[in-house]
Structure 1
Amino acid sequence: MKIGVLGAGISGLSIARLLSKQYDVELLEREAIHGGIARTRDAQGISYHVTGGHCFNTKYPDVLDFVFKEILPEHQWHKIQRRATIKFDNTEVTYPIEYAVKQINEFDNDLAIAITKDFLASEDDNNYRNLEDWFRKKFGNTLADLYFIPYNTKIWNCKPADMCVDWVEGKLPIPDKKSFFKGLVSNENDNMPHSTFYYPNTNNQNTFIDNLAKGLKITTNYNIKSIVKNTTGQWIVNDDKRYDLIISTLPLNVLPSLIHGTNEEILNEAGKLKYNKVTTMLWETTGTQNTWTYIPEADNFFHRYIHIGNFFRPAANYSITEVVGEKTYDEMLQNGKKDPFLIRPVDYHVSDHAYVVFDENYTASTSAIKNYLNNLGIYTLGRFGEWQYYNMDVCIKSSIDLAATIEKEYSFALAM
Structure 2
Amino acid sequence: MLLRRKVYVMQQTHTLILGAGLAGLSAAYHLDGHEYLVIEKNSSLGGLCTSEEKQGFVFDQTGHWLHMRDENMQRLAAALPGLDRVTIERRAHVFSHNTITCYPFQSHTFGLPPQVIRECVLGFIRARYESDRSRPPANFYEWCMANLGEGISRHFMIPYNSKLYTVHPREFACHWCDTYIPVPTIEQVVDGALTDPEHDSAGYNATFSYPRSGGIGALPEALFSLCQPERFLFNVHPVAIDMQRRIARLASGDEIAFKTLISTIPLRDFLQLVRCGGSDRLHEAAGRMKIASVSYYNAAFKTAPAHPGHWFYIPEERFMPCRVGFYSNVHEGMVPPGCSSAYIEYTHQGPLADEGAFRSASVELLLQMGLFASADDILFMDYRLIENGYVIFHREYPEDMQMIERWCRESGVVLAGRYGRWVYSAMEDAVLDGMRAAETVRG
The answer to which of 152-161 and 373-382 deviates more is 373-382
- Residue of structure 2 equivalent to 1:254: 269
Aligned partners of 1:280, 1:45: CA distance in 2, in Å?
Answer: 20
Cα distance change of structure 1 residues 248 and 71 upon mapping to structure 2, 3 Å threshold: farther
> Per-residue deviation at 1:62?
1.0
Cα distance change of structure 1 residues 242 and 263 upon mapping to structure 2, 3 Å threshold: closer
| Partner SS, residue 209 of structure 1 | helix
* Residues 1:24 and 2:35 are matched in the alignment: yes
Cα distance change of structure 1 residues 357 and 109 upon mapping to structure 2, 3 Å threshold: same
| Corresponding residue to 1:132 among 134, 141, 146 | 141
| Partner SS, residue 36 of structure 1 | coil
Q: Is the 8 A contact 2:238 2:248 kept in 1?
A: no
- Residue of structure 1 equivalent to 2:285: 269
TM-score by length of 1: 0.90
TM-score by length of 2: 0.84
- Residue of structure 2 equivalent to 1:413: none
Aligned partners of 2:162, 2:283: CA distance in 1, in Å?
Answer: 28
User: Is there any run of 5+ residues in structure 1 with no aligned partner, and where?
Assistant: 410-416
Identity %: 21
Q: Is the 8 A contact 1:18 1:400 kept in 2?
A: yes
* Residues 1:218 and 2:232 are matched in the alignment: yes
> Per-residue deviation at 1:329?
3.3
> Per-residue deviation at 1:183?
3.5
> Per-residue deviation at 1:297?
1.1
| Corresponding residue to 2:331 among 301, 312, 322 | 312
Provide Cα deviations, 1:78-112, integer angstroms capped at 9, x if missing partner: 111211111110111111112213333xxx22322
* Residues 1:6 and 2:18 are matched in the alignment: yes
Q: Is the 8 A contact 2:99 2:111 kept in 1?
A: no
Aligned partners of 2:400, 2:57: CA distance in 1, in Å?
Answer: 40
1:43 counterpart letter in structure 2: K
> Per-residue deviation at 1:308?
1.2
**Match runs of 1:12-411 below 5 Å:** 12-19=24-31, 21-50=32-61, 52-70=62-80, 76-104=84-112, 108-122=113-127, 123-124=130-131, 125=133, 127-184=136-193, 187=197, 189-214=200-225, 215-216=227-228, 217-229=231-243, 234-238=246-250, 239-261=254-276, 263-285=279-301, 286-287=304-305, 288-314=307-333, 316=335, 317-325=340-348, 326-327=351-352, 328-339=354-365, 340=367, 341=372, 343-344=377-378, 345-407=380-442, 409=443
Q: Is the 8 A contact 1:136 1:144 kept in 2?
A: yes
Q: Is the 8 A contact 1:99 1:180 kept in 2?
A: yes
Aligned partners of 2:69, 2:323: CA distance in 1, in Å?
Answer: 25
> Per-residue deviation at 1:400?
2.1
The answer to which of 259-268 and 162-171 deviates more is 259-268
- Residue of structure 1 equivalent to 2:4: none
Q: Is the 8 A contact 2:271 2:282 kept in 1?
A: yes
Aligned partners of 1:300, 1:145: CA distance in 2, in Å?
Answer: 16
Cα distance change of structure 1 residues 71 and 380 upon mapping to structure 2, 3 Å threshold: farther
The answer to which of 366-375 and 207-216 deviates more is 366-375
> Per-residue deviation at 1:18?
0.7
> Per-residue deviation at 1:72?
5.2
Q: Is the 8 A contact 2:27 2:435 kept in 1?
A: yes
| Partner SS, residue 111 of structure 2 | helix
> Per-residue deviation at 1:236?
4.0
The answer to which of 266-275 and 327-336 deviates more is 327-336
| Partner SS, residue 384 of structure 1 | coil
- Residue of structure 2 equivalent to 1:412: none
2:361 counterpart letter in structure 1: N
> Per-residue deviation at 1:158?
0.7
- CA-based RMSD of the aligned residues comes to 2.1
| Partner SS, residue 52 of structure 2 | strand
Aligned partners of 1:379, 1:246: CA distance in 2, in Å?
Answer: 6
The answer to which of 237-246 and 34-43 deviates more is 237-246
Aligned partners of 1:337, 1:67: CA distance in 2, in Å?
Answer: 37
Cα distance change of structure 1 residues 179 and 160 upon mapping to structure 2, 3 Å threshold: same
Q: Is the 8 A contact 1:71 1:211 kept in 2?
A: yes
Aligned partners of 1:229, 1:94: CA distance in 2, in Å?
Answer: 50
Q: Is the 8 A contact 1:9 1:35 kept in 2?
A: yes
Provide Cα deviations, 1:15-63, integer angstroms capped at 9, x if missing partner: 11111x220221100001011012122233322223x311112211111
Cα distance change of structure 1 residues 229 and 162 upon mapping to structure 2, 3 Å threshold: closer
Q: Is the 8 A contact 1:85 1:294 kept in 2?
A: yes
Aligned partners of 1:229, 1:114: CA distance in 2, in Å?
Answer: 55
Aligned partners of 1:351, 1:110: CA distance in 2, in Å?
Answer: 38
Q: Is the 8 A contact 1:80 1:198 kept in 2?
A: yes
2:64 counterpart letter in structure 1: H
Aligned partners of 1:147, 1:400: CA distance in 2, in Å?
Answer: 36
> Per-residue deviation at 1:185?
5.8
Aligned partners of 1:5, 1:72: CA distance in 2, in Å?
Answer: 25
| Partner SS, residue 266 of structure 1 | helix
Aligned partners of 2:194, 2:78: CA distance in 1, in Å?
Answer: 39
> Per-residue deviation at 1:229?
4.0
Aligned residues: 399
| Partner SS, residue 132 of structure 1 | helix
Q: Is the 8 A contact 2:260 2:441 kept in 1?
A: no
